Amino acid sequence: MFRRTMRETAFRLARRDLAQFLIDHEDRLMVIFRDELRKLDEEIPEENLFIDIHLVPLGEMILRAVLRALNRFLLMDDDASAMKGVQSEHTSTV
């Protein structure tokens, strides 16, 4: 229990810095991610795909969404308000 409290405290102290770090280095992360997706795109045999999807543009869109989600999470002021949003999403889709 003590370790968890320490971890949570450290996270609260560092989360805004981490969010800024991700923002500051987003371009470099995108370059690395594009390169990895190109490699993946070349490794997948065309005959194993049902349709020809270029992974780089799709992957970039997904990575940008992930980065936005991480920043929203890191910059949240209140965990309770985040949980209310998650609960309302689940109840609206059910």
Cα–Cα distance, 18 to 24 (Å, whole number):
10
pLDDT digits (tens, 9 = 90+) for 55-79: 778 788 888 888 888 888 888 765 5
pLDDT digits (tens, 9 = 90+) for 4-43: 999 889 988 998 898 898 889 888 888 888 888 788 777 7
Residue 93 has pLDDT above 80, yes or no: no
pLDDT digits (tens, 9 = 90+) for 39-49: 877 777 765 56
73 Cβ contact list (under 8 Å, min separation 6)? 82
**0.75 surpassed by pTM:** no
DSSP assignment of 21-61 equals: HHHHTHHHHHHHHHHHHHHHHHHS-GGG-SS---HHHHHHH
Residue 85 has pLDDT above 70, yes or no: no
